[in-house]
Structure 1
């Protein structure tokens, strides 16, 4: 009896059974691969959900689908194909399946096939749902993969914030100890400032009147005062008086580079490797105008490495000079470069939009989003897939297909931010500065913070091993070397801007950029005005929008807005009313507009910014239009890109139109598959296709 049972069991294990099992394994593998591709922004748990859904959909559609067909057109038991054979195998376990009855089996199988389609719908919902791209974790530090646990960071985890963009974001210069040497009146006059030096012991600041002051240790004449004396009292650099500063950077010597609004380039400080670009190695005790090879060139951005310098022109050309032992000047050799020399080779004929320097490396991002690196590469900080030095610019192939907007370089690591708000990191990782959860160097860019919301700003500095970023909702994260701790995963802070991270946690606590300040130790006229917005106690007018009141002051509206000046001085009917009804715009949009008149700030989610752009266009508020465009740019995605392009054209926002057009071209395949693309006006679609064609978007 036992042997008979075994014989029957063996008869069930036929070639068809083997094919069935192999098909299931192959379908699972395909599901796994699809889940890794489509779910790259999802968490590990969600990815396994995607694996099951893909597998479920493939099985139901590819196997049960043909069964439904056969059950409707004939009897499975008499059919001659692999699916019928497989169904007969099933029939050995369930006699009902051997004889197809369309009223029973087909309806049952049809339901199963629809389950496969439903699985695909769920896949789409998971991949596109913001819940799966923004982590619910508000920022506790997770232990790294290494055996040694990471000590807890000093700041507690703050609660989640609303998804908003506030513009502009400013910082209090008083967070840097050096500025406590100044009195309140001096501090209140500061418009821009930068703290630098090996111990963050030198500072430069620019006042509201465009006067430049310096104070601190004066190592290597880096203050540019004409002597080598340190000073606790700010000294004025008369040579730079009245010159509006647009970019400033410093080296490790330190040496200082400064670019003005007029495109001039000034340098001073350490010059042992000709990093000042004046053709000598003499210290620059005072600011000198760097002009060799830069005649008729307008400098818009500067960047300093340890002992080399970069300058970016208005035309998108990069010039480099100074120390070149590792090829960081990009000349193709390792001899020092005493004067500015244009970086060519792979950058020839290309337009560079941004530059950055590590200690002995250089980076550039092009107008098409490509990134190039050159110089020292011992830790993989160039991101080219190896650790060999590059004497000329080399493209980061790993970022192919991505459009990078911003780059930042630390001591020996690099960060890149794409137009979709994705953050990539590579290079040295001794202190966890890559944010990958471990301390292993990365020779190629790796995507980090995939589970967080959209990133809008990244920060790093060549003299530190600290990294920071800011999200669309204003949350600030930090990682790397933070006050002696090695933070290997991005940690959510209470800060409102990335500059605060470097003031409080970087070593040395330098500034990673030239920045602007605001103060709250007393109320200025602007702050007092801001405080009175929507104040029923002092208001003399109310706007009613969507059944809600907004309290304002006629005098303020007349001063700040030409539309209201005409309304209240030209005897409009509204001039006699105490309550004005508004039905053209929504409450959030109109309130944000009125708040802008009091504060000069825009506090509005990106999805509402189009309505505000419409209002700004109607009321001829050009500055408000620019702020709306800034917010919209930060909120652009593949799904809404064409809608935003349409809005930009409709409201004559040329800068936004150009930005949205480039985004659509850079992501042409994805954009053309969205609903918004096929819902637009036919004339605009033709214009877009013609314009994209002229840009070479359809070349093979």
Structure 2
């Protein structure tokens, strides 16, 4: 078994990759984000800033902040409205204070309400809450403010929380088994209990979600949304502006499916103050709800009671952004272009406006009111050249290289020492079959130039830049070399680039290279878009046995039922 000895980097929570040319899909585990774009961090010194791994700015005036260090220490500073800093007192602080109670706990999800109140989920699945509690949004059965982090355990014993979401004064949690729990203010049914009575402790949201597996949750000010594993979206709570996307403006006391998104497979949802957006697995963007500031991006200020597609003339969308305390919207395309619209520094931008930002987070730092963070931010520093950055700079550099590969008549310049350090295959090859008298050129004929160059570049950068079609070839290489990590990166690229026209070809490749996770993903995509996929040339050019297996499997899933 050959094993890549890869350099380990911080795993970014951001679902979007670095900017690339439009023809490329990219997956990389590093995203550069500058936390100093938020004024709250402007007084911190270089050493303090270098210690920050995750951060969140919140509050009615973006005047409170939480950050997590590389050592998993949690620090807070700011105005401390409603004890939202969790320091045990009501004092404001411009100097960060450590929350000792949370030391060493790995934070996986963090969010805030309007009170403000804070929810924090750890890697172990524990849920902690503190801050404003006038409507029992902390889930501890009382309405007493939480001056310090407290474990939320009622009805969550033996449950592992993986994601949290907050509205203005209500809270939600998602478990690893796909169950949704909600509690707090419920005047419009946002807790999903079937009544308008406040919910003092976590209660499972059932109704039509009872037998569904939820994979994502978000909150508007007084509304709630959830995505289930087959891409369906359900909404409940306040609907006076159509933010539930149900085609009407009546409140919903229990979850209701958004029929306006029927036939689409949604992979990300976000909610603003009173509007919502959804991103499909094909990179299509839909918006609905309040539009007073143009936050739907439709070109006018008319509310939309049902989802409408926007950014239709643009390339594939890979990320969308909004949060319950703003009327601002943002989106990022496959090539890294970032658009913003809605309320931007007091202006109403009714059509998506192309910015020069590198990520959607910058939109909220510079233009949202208040300039809060729309998600827990992961930070990577760029104030010096790291080892990884230095290696990346020297890849394919003939001035420093001592070895070159010839593929399809083209040269790729590399360094023997780097290849030996990074790859057991090359270490073994150079030690067993190499001496200083041998030629300094290695001929490669079993793989294409783009594939083999991407493979070598991966050894320098830990990232892969290839269109999905070439990623299949790289998946072949990774399979041949038994390189599971590289296989996973290839699978991410293929998942990002799957469309109706290439779906069945990608499914065939996944089967051929024994990539079970990718096979399952491609199969589900083909079933979700069965009519269109069966009309493509790739579907009818596939090997007959694979076609038979697909039809049998799809039949067992009920794909051909009327």
Task: Give the TM-score range, shorter chain.
Answer: over 0.9
> Is 1:449 aligned to residue 311 of structure 2?
yes
Is contact 1:201-1:216 (8 Å) kept? yes
The corresponding residue for 2:4 is none
> Is 1:163 aligned to residue 23 of structure 2?
yes
> 566, 584, 590: which one pairs with 2:446?
584
> 220, 235, 239: which one pairs with 1:377?
239
> Is 1:657 aligned to residue 558 of structure 2?
no
Question: How far does the alpha carbon of each residue in 1:354-398 deviate from its partner, in whole angstroms, 9 at most, with x for none?
Answer: 111000000011111111110011110000011111111111111
Give the 5 Å matches for 1:28-107: none
Runs of 4+ in 1 over 6 A off after TM superposition: none
After TM superposition, the structure 1 stretch with the greater mean CA deviation from structure 2, 487-496 or 304-313, is 487-496
Question: How far does the alpha carbon of each residue in 1:261-311 deviate from its partner, in whole angstroms, 9 at most, with x for none?
Answer: 111111111111111111111111111111111111111111100110010
The corresponding residue for 1:309 is 171
The corresponding residue for 1:177 is 39
Is contact 1:166-1:474 (8 Å) kept? no
> 129, 135, 144: which one pairs with 1:273?
135
After TM superposition, the structure 1 stretch with the greater mean CA deviation from structure 2, 243-252 or 517-526, is 517-526
The answer for unaligned runs of 5 or more in structure 1 is: 1-158
Tell me by how many angstroms 1:161 deviates. Answer: 5.1
Give the 5 Å matches for 1:316-327: 316-327=178-189
The corresponding residue for 1:542 is 404
Is contact 1:399-1:445 (8 Å) kept? yes
Query: In structure 2, the residue corresponding to 1:315 is in which secondary structure?
Result: coil
> Is 1:248 aligned to residue 74 of structure 2?
no
The corresponding residue for 2:479 is 617
- Could you say which structure has the larger radius of gyration? 1
Give me the whole-angstrom Cα distance separating, in 2, the residues matched to 1:173 and 1:612: 35
Is contact 2:127-2:151 (8 Å) kept? yes
Tell me by how many angstroms 1:253 deviates. Answer: 0.9
Give the 5 Å matches for 1:403-552: 403-552=265-414
Is contact 2:20-2:334 (8 Å) kept? no
Give me the whole-angstrom Cα distance separating, in 2, the residues matched to 1:606 and 1:617: 16
Is contact 1:465-1:481 (8 Å) kept? yes
Question: What's the RMSD between the two structures over aligned residues?
Answer: 1.8
Give me the whole-angstrom Cα distance separating, in 1, the residues matched to 2:258 and 2:207: 15
The alignment covers a number of residue pairs equal to 542
Tell me by how many angstroms 1:572 deviates. Answer: 5.3
The corresponding residue for 1:219 is 81
Cα distance, 1:570–1:478 mapped onto 2, change above 3 Å: same
Is contact 2:269-2:279 (8 Å) kept? yes
Cα distance, 1:596–1:294 mapped onto 2, change above 3 Å: same
The corresponding residue for 1:50 is none
Query: In structure 1, the residue corresponding to 2:433 is in which secondary structure?
Result: coil
> 501, 513, 535: which one pairs with 1:673?
535
The structure richer in strand per residue is 2
Tell me by how many angstroms 1:203 deviates. Answer: 1.4
Is contact 1:568-1:574 (8 Å) kept? no
The structure richer in helix per residue is 1
Is contact 1:164-1:474 (8 Å) kept? no
Is contact 1:327-1:374 (8 Å) kept? yes
Is contact 2:407-2:449 (8 Å) kept? yes
Give me the whole-angstrom Cα distance separating, in 2, the residues matched to 1:590 and 1:481: 47
Question: How far does the alpha carbon of each residue in 1:507-532 deviate from its partner, in whole angstroms, 9 at most, with x for none?
Answer: 11111111222222222222222222
Tell me by how many angstroms 1:468 deviates. Answer: 0.7
Alignment TM-score, normalising by the size of structure 2: 0.93
The corresponding residue for 2:260 is 398
Alignment TM-score, normalising by the size of structure 1: 0.75
